[in-house]
């Protein structure tokens, strides 16, 4: 039996978006509740999927189209392609998820010169008829025949000049006919074929074009950005035409039931007299507001207002409505839940709560962490005359203005002197941290959304644009070039981390009131608080009351810990102690690793201990009463040792010039060559370093004990936890745990005090995940290091793949998303799930957390909630986002 692919608008409801697409399901819903919808039918998404797979219509679809067209003709008393009472239709896309403007529409299908003349005679308005014909020819040429828009523009320019006008609206009937004839000639030249005259051929061609538009470049990019699956396909809606361009009491418009820009109550939209829908979108004429429309058409405006109220009450949400008026009669062409800004999302959700339409649980489900992030970052005021010079990957949102600086140390010095700087690099490394901290923002010509610059910038709440490959950075000459522009050190640039745009000169910045509230500088309880601040406060408060996941932070400094606590963090889930030895302290790790013997090592370790102790005191003071998880040193050697390539070059140069090479340089070169690793991320790091140099980890727990005692003496409540990195085997963990426990006991001895100090491990290797029950016997807690777990599961080098093949994989949709941005639940997620289940066979209340980059990713947080983990840990700036998403996960159905 042949599968059915077509359904009339009288079939179905808004729940059937999988089959009918969003537009088709909403059309069916509006018909069901009795709204004035022009009749039509929907070609289901199943037909599109088969067409895209085989390159041809499914069996029986052409007959279904013919039968459905016949039924529509009978219902309306019109004939498709007929001269008497002609039926014209629109052919519109309609995917399950709204993709506004991403796919194609063809209007006035069914019109021919004979039909146009008939419409001219019956309407008494020849211009309307031939304008409709002209519109169809142009749309058919662009969408079906892929003729460049510029070719039609050339014809239009010639015809307008011949008729001594510059405005299409002023063309008379003969001018419109000449324009249509010129368009047809362009199409025939481009296709090498005579223009078809059969309306049924036009209809079939238009349907195929809409199917194909599912895979257009813009639709593909939009799906990727919105994480919409590529295999859904689009439905196609065939709807009988109503004509807003027929008469003075005709027109078309778009209405929103509330303001989608700022969330204010009251209808919002545009209306154009004597126009078709494309005119509103194209912006070729200035529309009037709905209030102005109400003055000239009060009766119809009143009808529209009633329908808007009805639709909003029915959908219980902001509705976006397209409507057309034909000779004073109102028709609703489509509706959907309207897209809105982040501010509008928060405000509208609470308006519906206050009106008794939805619950607070539903309200937090209508906001998102991504929207909250947008509200937290400062934004540029782009209303002035701006000079855009480049675009890159928007890696960390926000707006930053400053002098371009090409060296981290210089960025630090200039910042200390009171100047605002933008750090510009080809790419950043851990040694750039001092400059990144000092800079207002970071701009790189290489790297992606999870490159070093991006990850660190997000963690610090710094604006960043990465992968700006149109700029050529010359770090020696302290300049970058792009096109005809050369930007020298000291020149002012502005970078927009939300859009990825780089501007020349200073762009004014609009501060975020939401960030001021979250950081405690503005109260939400005062009358002066903005509506969006009050909305964010209510939403976050409810999310906190509903969430099961605790939210900790990744903090390596007291300043990070203080900020995170203000933002709502419930402890530190990851303190990366190796980050405490970057910048000026980098030499300690270098000397430790290159030490010639154990005595030298002990000397370096002794120098490191007071530094560690002071750092720990500051962080635990900031987090008094809350857990602080200290990850023992995990330094990939390539981040701390001199480059072997650079040293080899220096040695070769000195030998070639006959220069004497100092003994220290020779020793350094020999040591670096001995310790050089082809893949440092898989080499001497984490637990392996602690086993090779046990005094190092013993020093760290000793410093932690002393710091805890000092914090307690000062009247605070330290809650330290020790975390061992990169463990893979039970024996590794047991060996180090016994070593560390003995050191902790010895350090407390004689103090007459004991502070509980749980010892756990990270789960960041696949072997650790699948043997979690064995590791769990010797661990007090696990924390999933999803960055390394992703890297090791995929066999991806995170530092390399984003600049090589990963963008191509994403372009080809071989990967639906970057697995370093959002957890790969179908792969890495299985390991996380398995480890969680195994660990809780050891103890039902085994404490589990996440401290990788995914701990702040909204989609990943929902997965961690589903697994029943105890907490997520993320960068300070993302703490409010994780709080909201954890609440949303708890109330999600």
The residues carrying an active-site annotation are 452, 851
What DSSP character marks residue 259? -
d(CA 167, CA 162): 12
Which residues, 6 or more positions from 235, have their beta carbon under 8 angstroms from its beta carbon? 19, 20, 21, 23, 24, 42, 43, 44, 45, 48, 93, 94, 95
Among the listed residues 622, 637, 640, the one whose alpha carbon sits nearest the alpha carbon of residue 555: 622
d(CA 46, CA 870): 42
d(CA 692, CA 635): 13
Question: Cα-flanking dihedrals φ and ψ of residue 443, to 5°?
Answer: -125, 125
Which residues, 6 or more positions from 613, have their beta carbon under 8 angstroms from its beta carbon? 703, 704, 706, 707, 710
d(CA 845, CA 316): 40
DSSP helix/strand/coil, 503: strand
Residue 609 zone, left/alpha/beta (φ > 0; ψ -120 to 50; rest): alpha
Segment holding 781, helix H or strand E = strand 781-784
Among the listed residues 804, 793, 813, 807, the one whose alpha carbon sits nearest the alpha carbon of residue 854: 793
DSSP string, 540-597: HHHHHHH--SEEEEE-SSHHHHHHHHHTT--SEEEEEGGGGGSGGGHHHHHHHHH-SS
For residues 585 and 632, the answer to whether their CB atoms sit within 8 Å is: no
Q: Judging by beta carbons within 10 Å of its beta carbon (0-12, 13-18, 19+), is residue 800 exposed, middle or buried?
A: exposed
Which residues, 6 or more positions from 326, have their beta carbon under 8 angstroms from its beta carbon? 242, 243, 244, 246, 250
For residues 747 and 740, the answer to whether their CB atoms sit within 8 Å is: no
d(CA 637, CA 692): 14
For residues 463 and 399, the answer to whether their CB atoms sit within 8 Å is: yes
């Amino acid at each position: 039996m042949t599968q059915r692919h077509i359904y009339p608008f009288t079939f179905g409801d808004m729940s059937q978006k999988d089959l009918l697409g969003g537009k088709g399901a909403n059309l069916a819903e509006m018909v069901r509740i009795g709204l004035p919808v022009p009749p039509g039918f929907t070609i289901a998404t199943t037909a599109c999927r088969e067409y895209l797979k085989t390159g041809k219509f499914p069996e029986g679809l052409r007959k279904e189209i013919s039968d459905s067209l016949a039924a529509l003709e009978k219902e309306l008393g019109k004939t498709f392609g007929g001269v008497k009472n002609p039926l014209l239709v629109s052919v519109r896309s309609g995917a399950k998820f709204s993709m506004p403007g991403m796919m194609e529409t063809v209007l006035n299908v069914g019109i021919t010169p004979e039909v146009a003349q008939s419409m001219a005679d019956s309407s008494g308005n020849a211009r309307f008829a031939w304008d409709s014909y002209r519109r169809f020819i142009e749309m058919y040429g662009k969408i079906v025949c892929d003729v460049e828009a510029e070719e039609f523009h050339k014809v239009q320019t010639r015809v307008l000049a011949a008729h001594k006008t510059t405005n299409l609206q002023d063309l008379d009937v003969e001018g419109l006919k000449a324009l249509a004839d010129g368009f047809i000639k362009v199409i025939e030249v481009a296709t090498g074929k005579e223009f078809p005259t059969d309306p049924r051929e036009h209809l079939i061609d238009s349907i195929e074009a809409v199917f194909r538009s599912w895979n257009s470049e813009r639709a593909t990019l939009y799906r990727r950005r919105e994480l919409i699956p590529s295999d859904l396909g689009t439905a196609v809606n065939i709807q009988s035409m109503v004509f807003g361009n027929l008469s003075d009491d005709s027109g078309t418009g778009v209405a929103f039931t509330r303001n989608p820009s700022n969330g204010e109550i009251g209808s919002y939209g545009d209306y154009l007299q004597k126009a078709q829908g494309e005119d509103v979108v194209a912006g070729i004429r200035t529309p009037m507001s709905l209030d102005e429309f109400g003055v000239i058409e009060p009766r119809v405006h009143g009808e529209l207002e009633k329908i808007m109220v009805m639709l909003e009450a029915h959908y219980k949400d902001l509705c976006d409505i397209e409507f057309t008026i034909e000779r004073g009669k109102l028709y609703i062409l489509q509706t959907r839940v309207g897209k809105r800004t982040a501010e509008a999302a928060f405000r509208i959700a609470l308006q519906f709560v206050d009106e008794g339409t939805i619950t607070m649980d539903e309200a937090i489900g209508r906001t998102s962490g991504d929207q909250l992030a947008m509200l937290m970052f400062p934004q540029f005021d782009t209303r002035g005359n701006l000079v855009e010079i480049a675009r890159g990957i928007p890696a960390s949102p926000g707006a930053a203005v400053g002098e371009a600086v090409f060296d981290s140390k210089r960025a630090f010095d200039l910042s200390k002197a009171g100047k605002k700087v933008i750090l510009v690099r080809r790419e950043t490394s851990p040694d750039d941290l001092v400059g990144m901290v000092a800079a207002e923002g970071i701009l790189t010509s290489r790297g992606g959304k999870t490159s070093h610059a991006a990850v660190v910038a997000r963690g610090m709440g710094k604006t960043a644009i990465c992968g700006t490959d149109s700029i050529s950075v010359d770090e020696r000459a302290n300049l970058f070039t792009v096109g005809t522009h050369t930007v020298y050190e000291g020149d002012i640039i502005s970078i927009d981390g939300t859009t990825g745009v780089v501007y020349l000169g200073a762009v004014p910045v609009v501060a975020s009131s939401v960030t001021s509230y979250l950081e405690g500088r503005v109260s939400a309880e005062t009358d002066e608080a903005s509506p969006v601040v009050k909305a964010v406060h209510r939403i976050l408060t409810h999310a906190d009351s509903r969430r099961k996941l605790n939210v900790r932070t990744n903090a390596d400094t007291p300043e990070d810990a203080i900020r995170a606590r203000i933002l709502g963090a419930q402890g530190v889930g990851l303190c990366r102690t190796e980050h405490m030895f970057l910048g000026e302290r980098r030499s300690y790790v270098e000397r430790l690793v290159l030490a010639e013997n154990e005595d030298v090592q002990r000397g370096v370790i002794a120098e490191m201990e007071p530094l560690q102790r002071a750092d720990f005191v500051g962080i635990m003071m900031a987090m008094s009463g809350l857990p602080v998880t200290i990850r023992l040193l995990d330094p990939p050697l390539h981040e701390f040792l001199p480059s072997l390539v650079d040293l080899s070059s220096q040695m070769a140069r000195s030998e070639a010039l006959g220069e004497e090479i100092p003994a220290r340089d020779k020793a350094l070169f020999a040591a670096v060559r001995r310790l050089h690793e082809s893949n440092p991320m898989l080499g001497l790091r984490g637990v392996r370093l602690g086993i090779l140099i046990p005094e190092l980890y013993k020093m760290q727990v000793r410093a932690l004990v002393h710091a805890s005692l000092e914090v307690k003496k000062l009247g605070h409540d330290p809650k330290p936890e020790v975390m061992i990195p990169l463990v893979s085997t039970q024996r590794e963990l047991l060996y180090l745990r016994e070593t560390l426990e003995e050191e902790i006991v010895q350090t407390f001895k004689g103090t007459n005090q004991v502070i509980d100090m749980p010892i756990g491990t990270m789960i960041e290797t696949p072997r650790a995940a699948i043997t979690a029950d064995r590791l769990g016997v010797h661990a007090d807690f696990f924390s999933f290091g999803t960055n390394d777990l992703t890297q090791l599961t995929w066999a991806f080098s995170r530092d390399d793949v984003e600049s090589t093949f990963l963008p191509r994989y994403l372009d080809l949709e071989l990967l639906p998303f970057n697995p370093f941005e959002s957890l790969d639940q179908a792969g890495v997620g299985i390991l996380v799930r398995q480890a969680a289940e195994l660990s809780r066979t050891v103890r039902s209340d085994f404490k589990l957390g996440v401290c990788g980059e995914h701990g702040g990713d909204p989609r990943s947080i929902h997965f961690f909630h589903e697994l029943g983990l105890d907490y997520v840990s993320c960068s300070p700036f993302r703490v409010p986002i994780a709080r909201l998403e954890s609440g949303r996960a708890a109330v999600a159905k």
